[in-house]
Amino acid sequence: MITQDYFGLEDKVCVVTGGASGIGLAAATLLAEVGAKVIMVDIHQENGQKAAAELQRKDYRVEFLQCDVSNGNDCIAVRDHIETKYGTIDVLFNNAGVIRRKTVVDLEESDWDLVINVSLKGIYLLSKYLIPLMARGGGGSIINTGSGWGIKGGDQAAAYCAAKAGVVNLTKAMAIDHGPQNIRVNCICPGDTDTPLLRDEAKQLQVKEDEFLVSSAKGRPLERLGTPRDIAKGVLFLASDLSEWVTGTDLIVDGGGLA
């Protein structure tokens, strides 16, 4: 049984980007389970509203806000809503991201811009506008979604690798800058996880989905794909009081793949 007091997240205000599906939805669910108030942020309005409604039916305190995290005005609107309704924010999970499986030669400029803008610029923008609220409330925790491919290279994913490597080092810079405000900033680096994003990679690479998922699990000591819940548990650790002296680090959650 999850004990809310153990994590220190009861009544805390948590924002989760990319919250309509996959890792974001799993994290939003788990944070709500331990008593947090969760704002699910995503560009996909229909999916986000549906996901939020399902959690609300379970009496979890969640709401959905549509937001393109690469758009400054959208991020300001999220900030204004949170400031008006809650006054502060305690946890920010910068999780929104996209991938394009192409080399630099094959990658269109528009694809490069999309991946960098959503996966890296989005962290900068939402953090820019929400950190002052977090600092005003006495501090909190920011978790950025990196990747194993932000630490080592991967094939046919040049923009994604560049963006996620940027996330890893941006996390360290933010941890240094905002530690004096009692704001911890960490990065979670998932391995291949069974999400809509991973399944879309199979389509991009024009391989059968089942074969792709099997190949993605091969070679890991734990011999399986990750689940969104696996990654959400790492997010819960970094968001909670269990990690109160952890900042500027990369938490690799990949079944031993990088090892």
Q: Which residues are catalytic?
A: 160
Using DSSP, state whether 13 is helix, strand or coil.
strand
d(CA 29, CA 4) in angstroms, rounded, equals 14
d(CA 35, CA 33) in angstroms, rounded, equals 5
Q: Which residue has the tokens 């080092």?
A: 169
Tell me if 29 sits within 8 A of 35, measured CB to CB. Answer: no
Tell me if 34 sits within 8 A of 4, measured CB to CB. Answer: yes
Segments in the chain forming alpha helices (H): 4-7, 22-33, 45-56, 72-85, 109-116, 122-136, 158-178, 196-205, 209-217, 228-239
Q: Which residue has the tokens 């089942």?
A: 210
